[in-house]
Structure 1
């Protein structure tokens, strides 16, 4: 199993929306590097859900419930989507500032390439974030 991080603007689609909906198609990703990460996701992989623009924090955990399939919102047919389902909210949110201040996260893909909306998370980074959230 692999771990990932996805970003969403909470005023567009929040973790609370995912919890209410029970699952969602994660589509609309048009960055080639982020799209490659979507293609690598497998059912059962866990995903940190990060609120961007507002909040700037990891707030929950989701799970990949359906692997990559053609993104219906892409008229070119080049990009893919995955399906996500909620797992749980974190006990405490982990802010971007806190992540940047943690030396254990210095090489985290999301911090090095901040414009990526989908990025991998190493097991060590995953453990550090859960510890910071009080979920360890």
Structure 2
């Protein structure tokens, strides 16, 4: 089992949205670095969910439940992967606290 970090903009798709859906296609991944990581994901891998912008914290965990695939519906080059919500953290882990603890 491998561990990954997935970033989301809470104004677009928050952890609350993910929790309500239970399972989602994690899409909209366009950066080359992120695409490389998406391509490495396999079912059973765990993913820490990081909310950017105002939260700037790791807020929960998910599990990869499908093989990564090229999102042909996206006119921009992108990849996606199916994930299942696992849990939210009682206390989000802030980016500031991560940076403060080398």
TM-score range, shorter chain: over 0.9
TM-score, with normalisation over the residues of structure 2?
Answer: 0.93
SS in 2 for 1:61: strand
- Equivalent in the alignment of 1:68: 68
Gaps of 5+ in 2: none
User: How far is 1:88 from its partner?
Assistant: 0.5
Q: Which has the larger radius of gyration?
A: 1
Q: Which has the higher strand share?
A: 2
SS in 1 for 2:33: helix
User: How far is 1:72 from its partner?
Assistant: 3.7
User: How far is 1:28 from its partner?
Assistant: 1.3
- Equivalent in the alignment of 1:42: 42
User: How far is 1:33 from its partner?
Assistant: 1.4
Q: Which has the higher helix share?
A: 1
Corresponding residue pairs, total: 102
How big is the alpha-carbon RMSD for the aligned residues of Structure 1 and Structure 2?
1.2
Runs of 4+ in 1 over 4 A off after TM superposition: none
Does structure 2 retain, via aligned residues, the 8 Å contact 1:35–1:80? yes
Gaps of 5+ in 1: 104-136
In the aligned structure 2, how far is the partner of 1:73 from the partner of 1:91?
A: 36
User: How far is 1:11 from its partner?
Assistant: 1.2
In the aligned structure 1, how far is the partner of 2:10 from the partner of 2:73?
A: 20
In the aligned structure 1, how far is the partner of 2:72 from the partner of 2:16?
A: 24
Q: C-alpha deviations, 1:56-79, integer Å up to 9, x for none? A: 100100111111112144236x43
